Amino acid sequence: LHPLPLQTWPDSVNQVNKMALLAWVKETGVDLVQINGQRRYGGPPPGWVGDPPPTGSEVFIGKLPQDVYENTLIPLFQSVGKLYEFRLMMTFSGLNRGFAYAKYSNRRSARMAVTALNNFEVQKGCCILVCKSTEKCELSVDGLATSLSQRHLEFLLQEAAEGILSITLYPSPYQKRAQLAVLKYSSHHAAAMAKKSLMEGNMRISEEQLRVEWLKPDLKQKLRCSEEKPSTTWVLCGKSPGSPGQAHVPLRAVPGKALELLDALCRKRCLGTPLFFTKCVQANPDGWRRFWCQVEIPGYPLPLSGFTWVRQDVSGASGHNKAKDMLAVQMLRILGES
């Protein structure tokens, strides 16, 4: 992170607008920070109290003239609602890349921005595009070696970028003897930073060229319809206090016993009662159901969460209870109990 580095721009590039932006920053005291090819205001802005805005509060801004900057854009987009964050994509020469993102404090302001500012003439003859941001949070990474374990991939991704929620490996539908990973992140920004790192080769994951893309709807549907059950993923919500690969261990549970064992272990170690949260997020016609699960233990520093597949059997056992049981097995492993 570093403050607005306008002094590093070539003097010959857009001098008039550069000086206007410098004067505006000095007059208003607005703090602009440049990182990874984008310049950001807020996220959160000064005086912000509470949680970040909900999904659906961000708009995409396109067709920007390359010599237009925050001194014009931020007041314009603030005119329709309170900004939580504004991100302008930048080139190394000091011009913008023609697009930006504005995140508002609520969804209503984002809708107003689209209504009021789409096709707004920001310069004579230059009308901008303003539309709802898709805020994509899922990536597909194709071309991974079949020898790459999920445990090792998880470790590499957690070390390189924040916000990873789940990792699911599939046989690649496009390449022989390769794997495809679906990565889910906590926010669009986190996913975008991971995508940038992967595409620029900052992470040595594979000797081959990786194909890194936003997860496309048709691929997502194709993977959902796959006959082979995908693998289970668990991710500690933060940096693990233990060894790097500790958060993923093959599951060999005794059905129905792990919940009781985890509860007994937590009582024995005075960690408090484990709290489970589960939600069915997908049901396949062949009986497989995908659950998001999380367990929080008051005396343990990090919750464990992730996705798992369970199959409805003839006994009618609750899929929620099965998912909890599998998560309990994983938590027992992390706590050092076989």
CATH number (domain holding residue 201)? 3.30.70.330
Verify that 59 and 125 share a domain, yes or no.
Answer: yes
| Residues forming beta bridges with residue 168, ordered by sequence position | 182
269-295 burial code (b ≥16 CB/10 A, e <16): eeeeebebebeeeeeeeeebbbbbbbb
Judgement on whether residues 187 and 93 belong to the same structural domain of the protein: no
* Any domain includes 19: no
Mean pLDDT, rounded, for 307-312: 76
- For residues 120 and 208, state if they share a domain: no
The residue out of 75, 107, 132 marking a domain boundary is 132
- According to the model, what pLDDT value does residue 1 have? 43
CATH number (domain holding residue 291)? 3.30.160.20
Q: Are residues 123 and 93 in the same domain?
A: yes
Q: Clarify whether residues 121 and 165 are in a common domain.
A: no
Considering the domain architecture, whether residues 117 and 152 belong to the same structural domain is answered as no
Q: Are residues 208 and 281 in the same domain?
A: no
Q: Does residue 248 sit within a domain?
A: no
Q: Determine the pLDDT at residue 147.
A: 82
Q: What is the pTM of this model?
A: 0.52
H runs (alpha helix) in the chain: 15-28, 70-78, 107-117, 150-160, 188-199, 217-224, 258-268, 319-334
More confident residue, 158 or 1: 158
Q: Which of 182, 209, 227 delimits the end of a domain?
A: 227
**Rounded mean pLDDT of 198-219?**
77
In a domain, 169, yes or no: yes
Q: Is residue 33 part of a domain?
A: yes
Lowest mean pLDDT among 122-126, 141-145, 167-171: 167-171
Whether 224 has a pLDDT exceeding 90, the answer reads no
What pLDDT sits at residue 79?
A: 95
Q: For residue 259, what are its two tokens?
A: 């919940």
Alpha helices in 31-142, H assignment, sequence order: 70-78, 107-117
H/E stretch holding 276 reads: strand 275-283
- Whether residue 170 is contained in a domain is answered as yes
**Chosen domain end from 192, 227, 262:** 227
- So what's the pLDDT on residue 317? 57
For 224-228, 268-272, 303-307, which range has the lowest pLDDT when averaged over its residues?
224-228
> Does some domain include residue 247?
no
Average pLDDT, the chain: 80
Q: How many domains does the chain have?
A: 3
Tokens standing for residue 192? 């975008």
Claim to verify: residue 281 and residue 325 sit in the same structural domain: yes
pLDDT in tens, 153-200: 877 787 667 778 778 888 888 888 888 999 888 778 788 888 888 887
Q: What is the C-alpha separation between 327 and 276, in angstroms, rounded?
A: 9
Q: Establish if 310 belongs to a structural domain.
A: yes
Q: What's residue 313's pLDDT?
A: 61
Q: Are residues 193 and 262 in the same domain?
A: no
Residues 30 and 128 in one domain: yes
Find which of 26-40, 48-62, 99-113, 212-226 is predicted with most confidence, using mean pLDDT: 99-113
Task: Note whether residue 90 is domain-resident.
Answer: yes
Tell me the per-residue pLDDT of 18-43, one tens digit each, with 9 for 90 and over: 889 999 999 999 999 887 678 999 98
Question: Can you give the residue range of the structural domain that contains 189?
Answer: 138-227
Q: Which residue has the higher pLDDT, 34 or 105?
A: 105
CA distances in angstroms from 104 to 54, 87, 303, listed in the order given: 9, 12, 30
d(CA 151, CA 137): 21
Whether residues 63 and 80 share a domain: the answer is: yes
- 43 plus 125 within the same structural domain: yes
Higher pLDDT, 37 or 61: 61
